A and B are shown apart, each in its own frame.
Chain A
Amino acid sequence: MDRRKALKKAGLLAGATIAMPSLFSLLQSCKNETRLDWQPEFFTEDEAKTISALIDTILPTTDTPGGLDVKADMFIDKVVAQTYDAEGQQNMRNAIAEFNASCKEKYGAVFPELSDADKTAVLKEAEASSPKFNPGVWGTTVGDQQPVGFYRSMKSMAIWAYFTSEEMGENVLSYDPIPGTYEPCKPLSEVGNRWSL
């Protein structure tokens, strides 16, 4: 199943029915926050803040770069703007709105405005309730894939954006564009981090 369909078929908490507050009140709620320091191509400012906050919670900055350091949010915005069709884009908007609606219902605010503790609580619940990706063989998923829902799709996209960034690919992960020989059983300690390619 492709990511678009997965998004369409499941919300954040797969299976749960979520009461939708009016979109208008959601949009209002972000009004007084600080502005983004970049101009999204696809996302509204509030949607962009939600994506950025999610990425920052999943992949925070430590002594290695975080997701926002490698601009994963900006990249995802570009990917949705340029490679999704109209239906996929609409599904993305709906999924973000649903996600924020459920945050609001349970914790009283949209995701980017929650305290760190509440953000953690939301994602813990999302982790526990969303199905996993089946393994893939040669470019297609095998077995019967359950819809993984918005959270795990976005987590997967964030990791993809993070790992395929130039900074991570060349400077943090192990990078070797022309390996030459194949060494079939090398001690992991001699390689270090996972290969970027």
Chain B
Amino acid sequence: MANFNIDAKKDLTYDAIVVGSGISGGWAAKELCEKGLKTLVLERGPIVEHVVDYPTMNWDPWDMEYRGGLTPEEKKKHYKNIRSGWVGKDTEHFWADDEANPYTEEKPFLWLRGHQMGGKSLLWGKQTYRWSDLDFEANAKDGHGVDWPIRYKDIEPWYTYVEKFAGISGEALGLPQLPDSHFLPPMELNCVEKHVKERIEKNFEGRNMIIGRVAHLTQPHNGRGQCQNRNRCSRGCPYGAYFSSNAVTLPAANATGNLTIRPYSIVQEVIYDDAKGKATGVRIIDAETNEVIDYSSKIIFVNASALSTAHILMKSTSKRFENGLGNDSGELGHNLMDHTYRVGAIGKVDGFEDKYYKGRRPNGIYIPRYVNIDEKSKSDKFVRGFGFQGSGYRGGNPANIESFGADFKDSILKPGDWEFFITGFAECLPYHDNKISLNKDVLDKWGQPTLTIDAEFKENEKALNKQIQEDAVEMLETAGLKDVMGFDKEHPPGYGVHEMGTARMGRDPKTSVLNGFNQVHAAKNVFVTDGACMTSSSCVNPSLTYMALTARAADHAVSELKKFNI
């Protein structure tokens, strides 16, 4: 890939500025560049060029000094991120430095961040699902939060548009609550997963178990290679076989010649000109030199990820917006949502001892939502719903086997028991009092105010979790599994890494921050298309929806620019 243009010195003025280069920022950059706009992407972390900057992508355990273990210094640097269980030597460099970037937890909340070109698009799990009208109509129907200003039909063509470029593998099912994507061939279930699928589908009407829908290429696509089943994705993929900004959208943006990307640029605020009545650019601090620089542009896309985006808007004060840009409603920073996570069941499967698999499939199974989808499936215990992810594999912890010595050692060279687990993701309601606020007492490495996060799961989420665990145990027991164990890790929000809602879309400027095209109601040349914009949280993974909303908003932005409306 051609090197990126990182020289933002000679030019302080662009057609468009994009803040952040993660999943949503990458799409904004691609769309705006392809539509001919000179676009500056401001990224707070370093450049991570596809393949070249994936130092660990081919490491085996023995290539690491401590086979993946971290030193106390490394653990300290990631003292918050590490609680996720995802941070090891192989990916440590893609997780943000918690010491340089502190935040305050009023109640426990895990804020997982990736501060580099590509953001969390390098680290994500690639589970990719469309939302449906069940989701877009939910707030209006049960009265929680405000109504979405859009419906499925508004976003449907944009799902197709981003899916065709990104490449999503999966199986079509025709379920109204989980619309089919434009699919590449699905990955395959292994024998135990097929076995469990049959039993569940036979015994529980309306429940389906499918292979996960994932942003992985099961065949070569748009010049990128096919997935080789290495399951080392979060180190960066040498084949470009999963969707990341680094492998997919940013190279496309770069190919237009319209892209400038400036690393180590921490955007502090969006500059609003009271006289002109619009935003005119952004102010950054150079993370390495502490230099403060203003860049100007006609339109600004803020894609720093849900909490960081709201943080930037909160710090963007002016005479017109004393409480933060676009905060006429007082909703900026509120309605923070995530999905509940790690509640489900695990058990053992007998009878497939002579079967194994080859390849480390970077994907598992999915059980789409089956509660509260119609009158028949209505629950009287909670509103909204949940879906399950999971997988079957040969695991078993050899240290648990009550034996040692020669025979023991020879036996553990063979694969262990078949295990199968499912874990639910439940929808979280938008509560006004789940919020973030500016903290001027705790400053970051650059002397800037940080965030205080004050959010919790409430009664509805707890009722959903209870049902998830009960259903999970029942399904696995009915499927004939042994030693079935239900679990609920009672994770506080944040662990699901699906932060949403801190600058929500809505029909009414009095109760929302953004309109139906993701424009700040009262500053229409400012767009927010990351998780901050979400009005409700659905129970399915959100990133595909960020992609579709971003492409849609970029299209609208350029057409409004051409009409001189913004």
- Interface residues, chain A, CB within 8 Å of chain B? 57-60, 62, 64, 66, 75, 78-79, 82-85, 120, 123, 127-128, 132-135, 137-140, 142-143, 152, 155-156, 159-161, 164-166, 169-170, 172-173, 176-189, 191, 193-195, 197
Contacts and interface: CB of A to CB of B under 8 A. Distances in A.
A187 B358 CA distance: 10
A52 to B, nearest CB: 15
Contacts of B499: none
Nearest to B352: A185
Given A58-B408, A179-B360, A191-B358, A137 B421 contact: yes
Given A127-B404, A194-B394, A180 B228 contact: yes
B415 A194 contact: yes
B85 A60 contact: no
Contacts of B421: 135, 137
Given A182-B187, A186-B355, A120 B405 contact: yes
A184 B188 contact: yes
Contact of A165 (B62, B360, B409, B416): B62
B403 A127 contact: yes
B291 interface: no
Identify the 9 closest CB pairs spanning chains A and B, nearest first.
A139-B85, A182-B359, A156-B399, A142-B487, A179-B359, A164-B61, A185-B191, A166-B62, A184-B190
B356 A155 contact: no
Contacts of A127: 402-404
Q: Looking at chain B, what size class is its interface with the partner chain?
A: 35 or more
B84 A182 contact: no
B409 A60 contact: yes
Nearest to A191: B356
A142 B230 contact: no
Nearest to A57: B404
B399 A159 contact: yes
B406 interface: yes
A126 B400 CA distance: 12
B359 A188 contact: no
B297 to A, nearest CB: 41
B62 A137 contact: no
Contacts of A170: 60
B342 A137 contact: yes
A194 to B, nearest CB: 4
Contacts of A142: 342, 346, 485, 487, 489
A70 B357 CA distance: 27
A187 B357 contact: no
Given A75-B67, A85-B72, A179-B229, 6 more contacts: A83-B71, A132-B397, A137-B346, A170-B60, A194-B412, A195-B415
Contacts of A134: 485
A187 B354 contact: yes
A184 B358 CA distance: 7
Given A60-B406, A139-B86, A188-B415, A181 B398 contact: no
B315 interface: no
A79 B399 contact: no
A68 to B, nearest CB: 12
B232 to A, nearest CB: 9
Interface string B158-200: 0000000000000000000000000000011111011000000
A152 to B, nearest CB: 6
A182 B357 CA distance: 7
Contacts of B344: 137
Nearest to B413: A193
Nearest to A180: B228
B61 A169 contact: yes
Nearest to A193: B413
A64 B410 CA distance: 8
B466 interface: no
Nearest to B187: A182
A113 to B, nearest CB: 19
A127 B230 CA distance: 35
A179 B66 contact: no
Interface string B349-366: 000011111111100000
A156 B419 CA distance: 19
Contacts of B55: none
B277 interface: no
